[in-house]
Structure 1
Amino acid sequence: MKLTILGAAEQVTGSMHLLQLTNYNILIDCGLDYEKDTYQHENLYFPFDPSTIDVVILTHAHIDHSGNLPTLVSMGFNGQILCTAPTAELSELLLLDSVNVFLSKQNKRSGSKRSRTGPEPLYQQKQVMETTDRFVTIAFHKEFRLHENVTLTLIPIGHLLGAAAIVLTVTENGSTKKIAFTGDIGRKGYPLLSDPEPLPPVDYLVSESTYGGRLHSRDTTLTQKLIDIISESCIKYPGRLIIPAFSIGRTQALAYTLNKIFSTGLLPPVKIFIDSPLAGAATEIYQKYPQLLNREAQDFYADKNNNSGFKELSYVQDKRESIAVANYHEPCIIISSAGMLEGGRIQDHLYYNLQNYYCTILFIGYCAKGTLGERLLRGDPIIRLRNRDLMVYATIKQTDLLSGHGDHNDLMDIVRQQNPSTLKQVFLVHGEHKSLQALSGSLQEENYAVTIPKKGESFEL
């Protein structure tokens, strides 16, 4: 059995791992690599023949794990894509949204004219639909036989609705071995989602390391943090609060928390607009699987008063409604995508509010270096948007209390479920250099054997 790390090696995006058995090849995740904004070069090339892959197993729907599946299919992959039901539905939304992103990059504006100067789309809607036709959904905790010598079990891992850790049991040459892939590990106590579940004893573990060496804020609760910011920006002063948020996962957790705040009377009513059609579609999927939410969320939504009482929230559907929100002059909260401000309707709201002294912009997620969000967070006094230089008079705030990734302690807890004397190797992926080194050092101190693979590096298991 040979494991090759083909993506998210010494970086965060582009998760893809190949497990080669005797006459059977398994690909775990097939994500877009957009680390250096070179998606054409990095994602069109596969270091294997896609037609030789027998099955793909998908940990969760985020694009850095699912986003290159249509390319794989268009280049000859003809097998099944296995995942949970919510992952299949959320992946379809995100892949179709990726098509729109590709087209927007291709159709760049030059003055008043639109010209196709950007790169060709990696794939289009036809390829997405061909890909989603290959999804086969399986339930958590149910052993699924992939092959006469291989079984698969999916374990809830938090992070996103339907997200799973993968446990494979492989028998070859009279020997049975277990290997687990964590995917992205959720944090404990996250809104809506259950805590990551323990993994069974395995021989090899491929673990993410995004927040290695970093701890989430613990000096206040998410509820109290939002109450303080809303009170300051919308109640004490008649302003508006703009929250850039990823449409799937982050927005649903935020809306749930706001529902709890306003439904229980912790704050007087404030109008809330969710300006993202993708978020609305994702919310319907979340509502479809209440049994996968945590117990607190299930109990909350079981009380009809909590739902009927949250009348201040509106989902914005079309561009006309979005423009109306921009012209809404009462105190309000606007939640819109994208989270790093790179495109999407959020840019409309920024354009009209960056120079508004009574506006607060609250970042609830990570902003990659070079993005518009990162420039605001580092304190740039002038932002260029739509060929215009805008002075930043709005108040800029940030919190990590809605991050969907487990921190250093959460990552350590997942590995600590394994006995260091029987776990043969931990492979750390999906992290920047500093995070990888920090998590590796902590694990080695507890006597775990740790490897930080390079891209394309193979290991005989």
Structure 2
Amino acid sequence: MKLTIHGAAQQVTGSMHLLELDNYKILIDCGLDYEKDHSIHTNENFPFDPRDIDVVVLTHAHIDHSGNIPTLVRLGFAGQILCTPPTADLTELLLMDSVNIFLNKAGKKNKYGKNKGKFNSGAQPLYLQKHVMDAMERFVTIGFNKPFKISGDVELTFIPAGHLLGAASAVFKVMDKGEEKSIAFTGDIGRKNYPVLNDPEPIPPVDFLVTESTYGGRMHTHGKTVEETFVEVIEKVCIKEQGRLIIPAFSIGRTQSLVFSLNKIFSSGLLPKVKVFVDSPMAGMATTIFRKHHNLVNDEAKEFYNKQGDEFEFDNLTYVETLKDSRQVSNYYEPCIIISSAGMLEGGRIQDHLFYNIQNYYCTILFIGYCAKGTLGHRLLRGDSIVHIKDRDLAVYATIKQTDVLSAHGDHNDLINTVKHQDKSTLKNIFLVHGETGSMQALSDALTVDGYKVTIPEKDVAYVL
């Protein structure tokens, strides 16, 4: 049995791991690399022949885990794609949105002339809607904690991972040359007591563990709850300063948790009601999927629903549908909160709101998630005084803030605790993925002190298990 880390090796995005048995190849996740340009040249050149992959196992819907699946299918993959039911629904939304992003970027790069309206050869999108639909036809869904035979020698079980609705750790039992072996891929590990989502469940003891390391060496802020944090920010920005609070948030997962938290704040009377705009059509569609799979939200959300109604609706909340309505939000001069995607500011309606507010002294832009290197969000967070938005260089006068109270990743201690559920006497090796080099090293050092064998794998290098 061989393991090769083809993506998210000593970086955060682009998760893609290949598990090879005799005459059977399993690809765990197939994500876009956000730390490179999303071009046909950097994401379609797989280090293997897609036709040789027998099955894809998808841990969750986020695009850095799912976003290159249509390319894999376009280039010849013909097997099944296994995931949980919410992951299938959310992935379709995200992949369709990726098509729109590709088309927009391709359109901007083209110079129109005789071939007006057509893409030139140098600006082709990575994939189109047809390729997404071809990929979705290959999805097969499996419930949590239900062992599933994917071949005569391989059994797969999905363990709830928190992080996002439907997110799972993938646990494999493998018969390899007459010997039973087990390996688990954590996917992205969530955190306890997160709004809407259930806590991650322990992964059963395995021989090998491939774990994310995003927050290795870093701890989340403690001492304030999600509600306390947002009450403090909203009171300062919207009530005392009578200003505008813009929150870049991923449409799927982060927005639903944020809306539920705001619902609790305003419904309990902790603050006067401030107008809230959710400006993302995809967020509305994702919220419908959260309602569809309401049996998988946490007990707090279920209890709120039973006592007060829909946790994703309240009086001062408006879901903005059309682009025309989105532009009207800029003309709303009362204090307000605008939640819009994308969370890293790469595309989406958030760019319009930034364009009109980045030079507004009474605007605060509050980041609630990770921003990969190379993104507009990362440039703002590092303190760039001038940024390029919609073909213009704009000075930054708005206040830039960040909080990790809604980070959907477990921190250093959560990662350590995930490993500590393993049996030291049987766990042969831990492979760290999905983290910056410093985070991986910090987590590796801590685990090594605790007596675990740890490997920080190099990209495209095969490890015999």
TM-score calculated relative to the size of structure 1 = 0.96
Q: Cα deviation per residue 1:200-252 (whole Å; 9 max; x = unaligned)?
A: 11011111111111111113221111001111111123221111111111111
Question: Residue 203 of structure 2 corresponds to which residue in structure 1?
Answer: 199
The one of 411, 416, 421 equivalent to 2:420 is 416
Aligned mates of 2:260, 2:428 — CA distance in 1:
41
Question: Residue 212 of structure 1 corresponds to which residue in structure 2?
Answer: 216
Letter in 1 for 2:62: H
Question: Is the Cα contact below 8 Å between 1:263 and 1:306 reproduced in 2?
Answer: no
Aligned mates of 2:84, 2:104 — CA distance in 1:
30
Aligned mates of 2:389, 2:112 — CA distance in 1:
15
Question: Residue 437 of structure 2 corresponds to which residue in structure 1?
Answer: 433
Question: Residue 449 of structure 2 corresponds to which residue in structure 1?
Answer: 445
Counting aligned pairs with the same residue, the percent is: 64
Q: Partner of 2:4: helix, strand, or coil?
A: strand
Question: Residue 14 of structure 1 corresponds to which residue in structure 2?
Answer: 14
Question: Residue 36 of structure 2 corresponds to which residue in structure 1?
Answer: 36
Question: Residue 353 of structure 1 corresponds to which residue in structure 2?
Answer: 357
Closer, same or farther in 2 for the Cα pair 1:307/1:447, shift >3 Å? closer
Does residue 366 (structure 1) correspond to residue 337 (structure 2)? The answer is: no
Closer, same or farther in 2 for the Cα pair 1:386/1:111, shift >3 Å? farther
| 1:41-440 map, 5 Å | 41-108=41-108, 119-305=123-309, 310-440=314-444
Q: Cα deviation per residue 1:313-364 (whole Å; 9 max; x = unaligned)?
A: 1110111100111101111110011112222111111122222222211111
Aligned mates of 2:19, 2:313 — CA distance in 1:
50
Aligned mates of 2:112, 2:325 — CA distance in 1:
24
Closer, same or farther in 2 for the Cα pair 1:93/1:430, shift >3 Å? same
Q: Partner of 1:248: helix, strand, or coil?
A: coil
Q: Cα deviation per residue 1:247-284 (whole Å; 9 max; x = unaligned)?
A: 11111110110011011111111110000011111111
Aligned mates of 1:374, 1:308 — CA distance in 2:
29
Question: Is the Cα contact below 8 Å between 2:251 and 2:286 reproduced in 1?
Answer: yes
Q: Partner of 2:108: helix, strand, or coil?
A: strand
Task: Report the Cα offset of residue 111 of structure 1.
Answer: 10
Q: CA RMSD in A?
A: 1.9
Question: Is the Cα contact below 8 Å between 1:144 and 1:152 reproduced in 2?
Answer: yes
Aligned mates of 1:291, 1:124 — CA distance in 2:
33
Task: Report the Cα offset of residue 309 of structure 1.
Answer: 7.5
Report which stretch shifted further, 105-114 or 309-318. Answer: 105-114
Task: Report the Cα offset of residue 403 of structure 1.
Answer: 0.8
Report which stretch shifted further, 340-349 or 425-434. Answer: 340-349
Letter in 1 for 2:412: H
Task: Report the Cα offset of residue 435 of structure 1.
Answer: 0.7
Task: Report the Cα offset of residue 305 of structure 1.
Answer: 4.8
Aligned mates of 2:163, 2:312 — CA distance in 1:
28
Does residue 3 (structure 1) correspond to residue 3 (structure 2)? The answer is: yes
Q: Partner of 1:107: helix, strand, or coil?
A: helix
Letter in 1 for 2:102: F
Question: Is the Cα contact below 8 Å between 2:32 and 2:38 reproduced in 1?
Answer: no
Question: Is the Cα contact below 8 Å between 2:34 and 2:372 reproduced in 1?
Answer: no
Q: Partner of 1:108: helix, strand, or coil?
A: helix
Aligned mates of 2:203, 2:241 — CA distance in 1:
49
Closer, same or farther in 2 for the Cα pair 1:40/1:34, shift >3 Å? farther
Task: Report the Cα offset of residue 304 of structure 1.
Answer: 3.4
Report which stretch shifted further, 170-179 or 159-168. Answer: 170-179
Closer, same or farther in 2 for the Cα pair 1:458/1:358, shift >3 Å? same
Aligned mates of 1:203, 1:346 — CA distance in 2:
44
- Tell me the matched-pair count: 461
* Structure 1 gap ranges (5+): none
TM-score calculated relative to the size of structure 2 = 0.95
Q: Cα deviation per residue 1:178-218 (whole Å; 9 max; x = unaligned)?
A: 11010111112211111110011101111111111111111
Aligned mates of 1:175, 1:338 — CA distance in 2:
46
Report which stretch shifted further, 168-177 or 427-436. Answer: 168-177
Report which stretch shifted further, 195-204 or 116-125. Answer: 116-125
Report which stretch shifted further, 340-349 or 206-215. Answer: 340-349
Q: Partner of 1:393: helix, strand, or coil?
A: coil
Task: Report the Cα offset of residue 36 of structure 1.
Answer: 2.4
Question: Is the Cα contact below 8 Å between 2:256 and 2:312 reproduced in 1?
Answer: no
Closer, same or farther in 2 for the Cα pair 1:261/1:19, shift >3 Å? same
Question: Is the Cα contact below 8 Å between 1:212 and 1:439 reproduced in 2?
Answer: yes
Letter in 1 for 2:26: I
Question: Is the Cα contact below 8 Å between 1:263 and 1:309 reproduced in 2?
Answer: no
